[in-house]
Chain A
Amino acid sequence: MFEFWTAALQQPLARNAVFVALLVSMTCGVVGSYVVVRRITYIAAGVAHCVLGGMGAARYLQMVHGWTFFHPIYGALIAALAAAAVIGWMSLVSREREDSAISAVWSVGMATGVLFIYATPGYAQDLMGYLFGNILLVTRAHLYFVAGLNVLLFLVVARWYDEFQLVCFDEEFARTRNVNVSAFYILLLALTALTVVALSVIVGIVLVIALLTLPAALAGRCAGSLAQMMALATILCALFCLAGLTISYAPDLPAGPTIIVIAGGCYFVSAALDYLWRRLHKTQ
């Protein structure tokens, strides 16, 4: 059961997995709480799937055209930010239905990624890695990326916590307080896009949305404020990641899906308990 922790003491890759799990939990706790209360889960899922387009294109350019510097994570960053910008623009300015726009970005991004991956000789197996990730293969560069993202997040949230809270709670009133609602919405989408990229290496782009939303949704059940929700979601996310690593290591299960099954199980149990408690409370 605890073979993972023995490995973590000896192997740098297992140690990196622990560090990145803790770092990414902070990112998830903060951004996930905003995604849940602002109800932009579907947008985050669209951005996450679009990331495959960027990863596939970067891999293609690396292998076919010799752009060795162009790591797939750069492609992922460009694709995620572009997807967030397109969705943000379409929901703020264009008359398109938001869910149609998200679906278009989602599917075109994924399809582009698959085409690039199949056009890259011998690299079709990368597809599984992109889709489901592998926390045990996290590099030091990825650790620095997530740490940098956390610093950026801390600065942004510390400066604009009140404004973000107001925009998420009551957009119309925010406008009457001279808060630039559109700018904060775009900034939130950009932070969500960066978080999606950070998470995609751990759990893969298919499962990103679960790690982004489940801990925050669970935390929201008992938090008294948005700040408490963020703190609680961070702790829950860290617990899910470490439990997933611990359970999956010995039987050689993929860590990402194990983390998601644990998080999802806790979410469903909590929803059932919440429902039963409310029913009991009502009948008394």
Chain B
Amino acid sequence: MNPAIEIEDAAVYYGATPALLDVSMTIERERFVTVVGPNGGGKTTLFKLLLGLVRPARGRVRVLGMAPGDARLSIGYVAQTPRFDPLFPVRVYDVARMGLIGVGNPGRFRNRRATRETVLTALDAVGLADFEKRWFNNLSGGQRQRVLIARALVTQPEILLLDEPTSNVDIAAEDMILDVLERLRNSMTILLITHYPRVASRFLDLVYCVNRTVHVHPRTEKLDDDLMRHITGLAMPATFSSGAGGLNRV
């Protein structure tokens, strides 16, 4: 079976500016990869490269043994803090169902009952099956993020790409999202971009540092602020302090 992801000596430029250089990596199927790195280091560009949304200026990229654009519908993608119109009239069920839209989707999704079962299964996987009729924009930030994960899961993807899924959510919501990812572990290939040591330290199977190029970090048992600073080469964007109400991000 082909590896989930194979990249050989790839480079991506925005105009004349290099975003990624000399990237080579192979990720086997059903691995959990935590991706860390400084802002502007190319983490999101790496995801766009895997989705076929940007083309490499050189090098070779294969996703599930195919060209990235051909494998796109086998990838679930949760973007970094997508901005939505706060007045857009759409319910949770319809947002999750959006994951099924796309050229090449199997015709079975035209079947209403099958569609409903598929969407509710995905919502159930993120603990939101009872929220199907709620307005998406009335949900909390953490709940919205879980709906977006359900939308990415609805096609039962072979690869799940999550770009900072815990940014802008509180600690309780973060825990719920991480619990969802814990349950998905070993069922598909997951790449998780995060800036937070607390998040990264839950998933230390494989840690990749992206800063123009990709380095595999040696296996570690603990990823704290100091190690994160060492890996990314930058000051931490967030620390944690213990307050009267529990842990707070400051």
Contacts of A172 in B (CB 8 A): 79, 82
**Closest-CB distance, B150 to chain A (whole angstroms):** 13
Q: How far is the CB of B116 from chain A (nearest CB, A)?
A: 15
Note all chain A residues with C-beta closer than 8 A to B94: 165, 225
Task: Flag whether A170 is at the interface (Cβ < 8 A).
Answer: yes
Give the complex CA separation of A162 and B93 in angstroms: 13
Query: Hey, which chain B residues are within 8 Å of A225, CB to CB?
Result: 89-91, 94
Asked if A177 and B53 make an inter-chain contact with CB atoms under 8 angstroms apart, the answer reads: no
A232's nearest neighbour on chain B, judged by CB, is B89
Which single residue of chain B is at the shortest CB-CB distance from A36?
A: B87
Select B89's contact among A174, A175, A176, A229, beta carbons within 8 Å. Answer: A229
Q: Chain A, 190-206, contact with B by CB distance < 8 Å: what is the 0/1 string?
A: 00000000000000000
B residues 28-58 near A (Cβ < 8 Å) are: 51, 53
A interface: dominant SS: helix
CB B205 to nearest CB in A, in angstroms, measures: 25
Say whether, besides A172-B82, A173-B82, A179 and B102 are in contact (CB < 8 Å): yes
Say if the beta carbon of B88 comes within 8 Å of chain A.
yes
Q: Point out the residue from A169, A173, A174, A178 that lies within 8 Å of B88, measured CB to CB.
A: A169
Q: Given A37, A163, A221, A229, which contacts B101 in the complex, CB threshold below 8 Å?
A: A163
Asked whether A176 lies within 8 Å of B98 as measured between CB atoms, the reply is no
Find chain A residues with CB under 8 A from B135 CB.
Answer: 224
Q: Bound state CA distance, A148 and B85, in angstroms? A: 32
Is A111 an interface residue, CB under 8 A from the partner?
Answer: no
Total interface residues in chain B, CB < 8 Å: 27
A62 contacts the other chain (Cβ, under 8 Å)?
no
Chain B residues near A170 (CB-CB < 8 A): 79, 82, 84, 98
Cβ contacts A to B, 22 pairs, < 8 Å:
A162-B101, A165-B94, A166-B101, A168-B88, A169-B84, A169-B90, A170-B98, A173-B79, A176-B77, A177-B73, A177-B103, A178-B72, A178-B73, A223-B89, A224-B89, A224-B135, A225-B89, A225-B91, A225-B94, A226-B89, A228-B89, A229-B89
Not counting A37-B87, A169-B98, A228-B89, a sample of 8 additional A-B residue pairs whose C-beta atoms are within 8 angstroms of each other reads A169-B85, A173-B151, A176-B51, A176-B77, A177-B73, A177-B102, A220-B87, A226-B90
> Which B residues have a C-beta under 8 Å from some C-beta of A?
51, 53, 72-73, 75, 77, 79, 82, 84-85, 87-91, 94-95, 97-99, 101-105, 135, 151
Interface of A with B (CB < 8 Å)? Answer: 37, 39, 162-163, 165-166, 168-170, 172-179, 220-221, 223-226, 228-229
